[in-house]
Structure 1
Amino acid sequence: MSSVVDAPWFYWAIAVAVGFPVGLVLLTELHNALLRRNSALARPVHLVRNYILPLGALLLLLVQAIQISGEATPVRIVATVFGFVVLVLLLSGLSATMFQTAPDGSWRRRIPSIFLDVARFALIAVGVGIMLAYIWGANVGGLFTALGVTSIVLGLTLQNSVGQIISGLLVLFEQPFQLGDWIETPSARGRVVEVNWRATHIDTGGGLLIMPNSVLAAASFTNYSRPPGTHSLGVTTTFAVDDPPDDVIAMLNRAAAMLPQLRPGATPSSVHAGGLQYSTAVPLRTPADDFAAKSMFLRWVWYASRRAGLHLDEADDEFETPERLRASLRIVAPTLRLSQDDQQALLPRVRLTRYGADEYLQYSGQVPKRMMFIVNGKVRLAATDNAGGLIPVRTLEKGEFLGQTTLTLEAVTAAAYALEEVTVLQLDREVIEDLVARKPLLLQEFGRAIDERRASLRRALAAAGE
């Protein structure tokens, strides 16, 4: 009588009885460790522990321990389920190891999703074919032959359409642009808002342009967002031939340096481009700021050129007329305690200028060389917080003044910018000194204004938590 140990199923039963629980314990610990590390491999290990290992153990028991024929329907069903789970494991493991853990910018990250879908479909088709052939004994050769012939016929029929799709997919694979990039094509300029396997959607500001990827693949285009931090806006201006080039360049650089769209840490530059033209390069944070920055720059240059006595577009400034000067002196006369004779005497010693909306009249920390009296418009005094933002302090209107520390040669503590077009009457330091020498009460009023504005600044900073 033969011993149980000599039975062919004995060692298979022992292997399953011991190996199955040990494998469960090891895979459980590995799965928990991968979960703590947020690893993409946790899901494949979960599939192995919960499905592959139990089904494999069951299949071994049926075929080796119980010795049921492999052609039996229960065995084929278990083997088919086991094969499907292995196929799912291969797909999950391939995705986790090849693509989910791929570093940014690598070729694995740039592969379009449609390529992955095609690869998954091919893998599933091969896996199902193998299971049908080896488990169920089906003849899959004829099926694959028919599919191959059908694919060739469809490829020849749709070769133009397929060629466009492939060229578009190559653009996606190379990724010369990403979502949010600003590009200029032969037909449009705008921001990329969507990219799929067929077309690129570009927001032009006046609508959404749908451009096939095959068109982009066959044409040249400019990506203004790459490399990052290098975009500059170029603006060309024209001045009179008699305007000193150095004065024009200095004025253009001052205007560009105060643009809110200027890239932090960057410096604009202007050059004489020959003839009457000057070119200014303004480094910007993003191409999205081009339109706003150019509009504001040209508007500020219009005002700044007239204040500097320059001739933008060869035009003369005829704003400062004797009539306007007299009218402006009458507006500020109560503030400066001016009589009619005083106004007449000051007429050749004052200057009437204008500032555009959002343009700065003075900067925090600046030592003013003259006082400015508001004739028309509104000016906002503002302090600068630790983050570089502006904290409103107060609003100055017609008849009020700026630059009162010109007499004490102290730096101003608050910046001032125009809320709208502002007309100011400028009096140099020497003129103010003559006035306060003859009118001592003016000096007291200027001193009181300095103290009041410093107190307003402290209250504004305290309210903002600075």
Structure 2
Amino acid sequence: MTTVFDAPWFYWAVGVAVGLPICLVLLTELHNALLRRNNVLARPVHLLRNYILPLGALLILLVQGMQISGETTPVRIVATVFGFVVLVLLLSGLNATLFQGAPEGTWRKRIPSIFLDVARFVLIAVGVGLIFAYIWGANVGGLFAALGVSSIVLGLALQNSVGQIISGLLVLFEQPFQLGDWIETPSGRGRVVEVNWRATHIDTGGGMLIMPNSVLAAASFTNFSRPPGTHSLSVDTVFAVDDPPDDVIAMLEKVAAMLPQLRPDATPSSVHLGGLRYSTSIPLTTPADDYAAKTQFLRWVWYASRRAGLHLDEAEDEFETPERLQKSVRIIAPTLRLNKAEQEAFLPHVRLARYGTHEYLQYAGEVPKRMLFVVTGTVRLVVTTSDGATIAVRTLEAGDFLGQTTLTREPVTASAYALEEVTVLLVERAHIEELTARKPVLLQDFGHAIEERRSSVQRAVAAAGE
């Protein structure tokens, strides 16, 4: 007598009854853990738990448990759905493991989307062909042959369009640029943000330039991102013919060296092009900084050229008038303890200068050669920590001063930059020494200021480290 244990369906049914719940519990826990970590594999695990595992169990019960023939329509329908879900899992898994989780800068992260589309199309075509061949017994070879003949006919009818696609694909296979590269084409300049079947999308900063791949294949273009670390911005300026070229070049290089967009460990250079023209080469990390670096450089050159007595665009500086100079001396007179007679005697020994917004008036560690007294505007004192962080110490206003260690010939402890356009009164070291010799109380004031600035820097650094 045959028992239930001898039935061919028994062990299959028990395996599904026991294995399905266990697998569901394990996959649920795995899926929750991946979700908590924002892992890209969470979606493939979700497909496996909710669709593939139940459909696989149902297919086993139909064929092995209920002994239904695989040639019947219900079994074929379930098998087809199972095959399609497996195909979706393969697409999702490959995308998650190879591309979504790719580290920045790797070839997987930079690969154009067109290649992903081609890979998906090939995988889908092969998968659908296998499903129809093994489940439904379709003549896939004949179908692909018919598609091949149709493709030839369609290609002849659309040879111009197909030629454009092929030429675009050749450009992409050659990889003359990658996602994130900055290129300049006959139609515009910008950063490559997307590459698809038909065109390359370039972010120009003022909109999105859609450049057909066939146009890129037929035209020449410049890639500013290759080789890396070689991009430089060239800025032309004009000075008066009487300005000494060496003085102009030194001023231009000093201003360019202060730019925050300057590439680390790089040095700008300026050359005299003859006549009135000068060219300054500024190494930058990325072409994205071109506009900001150029505008800031030209703005700071305007102020620096006037402080140096040079004539940008052959213009004369008429800012320092006797009236403005007298007014400025009156503003700083209480700081230097000057009476009216001393103010008049003080005028021939001072000079007015202006600094642009965010331009540095002094750097920490340098020994000042003169003192600067703030007349208008505000100046921010900052200190840079060992890890590169910038900490604000205090803000200077009209009547405050910089460079007080010029008397002791000690380096200053803090840097200073203009928060807005700042006008300062410059007093050379020799005249400061003369003033302190006649007014010993000034020497005490400057000594207190030096100690107070040091204490302020220490407090600011200590507060930042808490």
Considering the TM-score relative to the shorter chain, is it more than 0.5?
yes
Cα drift, residue 234 of structure 1: 1.1
What is the alpha-carbon distance in structure 2 between the residues aligned to residue 252 and residue 265 of structure 1?
Answer: 18
- Name 1:433's counterpart in structure 2: 433
- Name 2:382's counterpart in structure 1: 382
Secondary structure in 2 matching 1:229 = coil
What is the alpha-carbon distance in structure 2 between the residues aligned to residue 301 and residue 201 of structure 1?
Answer: 36
Structure 1 residues 86, 193: closer, same or farther in 2, change over 3 A?
closer
Does structure 2 conserve the Cα–Cα contact (< 8 Å) formed by 1:360 and 1:418? Answer: yes
- Name 1:290's counterpart in structure 2: 290
What is the alpha-carbon distance in structure 2 between the residues aligned to residue 253 and residue 86 of structure 1?
Answer: 67
Structure 1 residues 108, 411: closer, same or farther in 2, change over 3 A?
closer
1:127 maps to amino acid: L
What is the alpha-carbon distance in structure 2 between the residues aligned to residue 94 and residue 191 of structure 1?
Answer: 29
Alignment partner of 1:131 is 2:134: yes
Q: How does 1:96-111 map to 2 (within 5 A)?
A: 104-105=106-107
- Name 1:151's counterpart in structure 2: 151
- Name 1:327's counterpart in structure 2: 327
What is the alpha-carbon distance in structure 2 between the residues aligned to residue 326 and residue 42 of structure 1?
Answer: 79
Cα drift, residue 283 of structure 1: 1.5
Structure 1, residues 132-167: CA drift from partner, whole Å, max 9, x if none?
A: 785xxx556664554344333332333333333333
2:452 maps to amino acid: E
Cα drift, residue 362 of structure 1: 0.8
Cα drift, residue 188 of structure 1: 1.3
Q: How does 1:264-279 map to 2 (within 5 A)?
A: 264-279=264-279
What is the alpha-carbon distance in structure 2 between the residues aligned to residue 462 and residue 142 of structure 1?
Answer: 79
What is the alpha-carbon distance in structure 2 between the residues aligned to residue 107 and residue 436 of structure 1?
Answer: 66
Secondary structure in 2 matching 1:112 = helix
Cα drift, residue 291 of structure 1: 0.8
Does structure 2 conserve the Cα–Cα contact (< 8 Å) formed by 1:229 and 1:285? Answer: yes
Does structure 2 conserve the Cα–Cα contact (< 8 Å) formed by 1:168 and 1:213? Answer: yes
Secondary structure in 1 matching 2:288 = helix
1:397 maps to amino acid: E
Does structure 1 conserve the Cα–Cα contact (< 8 Å) formed by 2:110 and 2:179? Answer: no
What is the alpha-carbon distance in structure 2 between the residues aligned to residue 258 and residue 375 of structure 1?
Answer: 23
Structure 1 residues 129, 290: closer, same or farther in 2, change over 3 A?
same
Secondary structure in 1 matching 2:262 = coil
- Name 2:345's counterpart in structure 1: 345
1:284 maps to amino acid: L
Q: How does 1:60-459 map to 2 (within 5 A)?
A: 73=72, 104-105=106-107, 112-128=115-131, 130-131=133-134, 143-459=143-459
Structure 1 residues 143, 448: closer, same or farther in 2, change over 3 A?
closer
What is the alpha-carbon distance in structure 1 between the residues aligned to residue 369 and residue 287 of structure 2?
Answer: 37
Structure 1 residues 92, 172: closer, same or farther in 2, change over 3 A?
farther
Greater displacement, 429-438 / 164-173: 164-173
Structure 1 residues 51, 176: closer, same or farther in 2, change over 3 A?
farther
Structure 1, residues 81-118: CA drift from partner, whole Å, max 9, x if none?
A: 77997898799779979995599337995671221133
Greater displacement, 243-252 / 119-128: 119-128
Structure 1 residues 459, 48: closer, same or farther in 2, change over 3 A?
closer
Does structure 1 conserve the Cα–Cα contact (< 8 Å) formed by 2:256 and 2:282? Answer: yes
What is the alpha-carbon distance in structure 1 between the residues aligned to residue 133 and residue 271 of structure 2?
Answer: 72
What is the alpha-carbon distance in structure 1 between the residues aligned to residue 428 and residue 399 of structure 2?
Answer: 17
Greater displacement, 160-169 / 114-123: 160-169
2:382 maps to amino acid: A
What is the alpha-carbon distance in structure 1 between the residues aligned to residue 416 and residue 110 of structure 2?
Answer: 53
Structure 1 residues 51, 318: closer, same or farther in 2, change over 3 A?
same
What is the alpha-carbon distance in structure 1 between the residues aligned to residue 357 and residue 193 of structure 2?
Answer: 33
Does structure 2 conserve the Cα–Cα contact (< 8 Å) formed by 1:371 and 1:403? Answer: yes
Structure 1 residues 403, 70: closer, same or farther in 2, change over 3 A?
closer
1:368 maps to amino acid: P
1:403 maps to amino acid: G
Cα drift, residue 168 of structure 1: 3.1
Does structure 2 conserve the Cα–Cα contact (< 8 Å) formed by 1:239 and 1:312? Answer: yes
Segments of structure 1 that go 5 or more residues without pairing to the other structure are 1-12
Structure 1, residues 426-446: CA drift from partner, whole Å, max 9, x if none?
A: 111110111111111111111
Secondary structure in 1 matching 2:317 = coil
Segments of structure 2 that go 5 or more residues without pairing to the other structure are 1-7, 32-38
What is the alpha-carbon distance in structure 2 between the residues aligned to residue 144 and residue 376 of structure 1?
Answer: 81
Cα drift, residue 364 of structure 1: 0.7
1:200 maps to amino acid: T
Does structure 2 conserve the Cα–Cα contact (< 8 Å) formed by 1:133 and 1:140? Answer: no
Tell me the TM-score normalized by structure 2.
Answer: 0.78
Cα drift, residue 412 of structure 1: 0.8
2:165 maps to amino acid: I
Aligned length: 447
Secondary structure in 2 matching 1:464 = helix
What is the alpha-carbon distance in structure 1 between the residues aligned to residue 372 and residue 87 of structure 2?
Answer: 77
Q: Percent identity?
A: 65
What is the alpha-carbon distance in structure 1 between the residues aligned to residue 110 and residue 63 of structure 2?
Answer: 37
What is the alpha-carbon distance in structure 2 between the residues aligned to residue 372 and residue 143 of structure 1?
Answer: 86
- Name 1:5's counterpart in structure 2: none
- Name 1:3's counterpart in structure 2: none
Structure 1 residues 116, 258: closer, same or farther in 2, change over 3 A?
same
Cα drift, residue 370 of structure 1: 0.5
Structure 1, residues 286-343: CA drift from partner, whole Å, max 9, x if none?
A: 2111111111111111111111122222222222233322222222222212233322
Superposition RMSD on alpha carbons, in Å? 4.2
Secondary structure in 2 matching 1:249 = helix
Greater displacement, 160-169 / 224-233: 160-169
What is the alpha-carbon distance in structure 2 between the residues aligned to residue 461 and residue 293 of structure 1?
Answer: 30
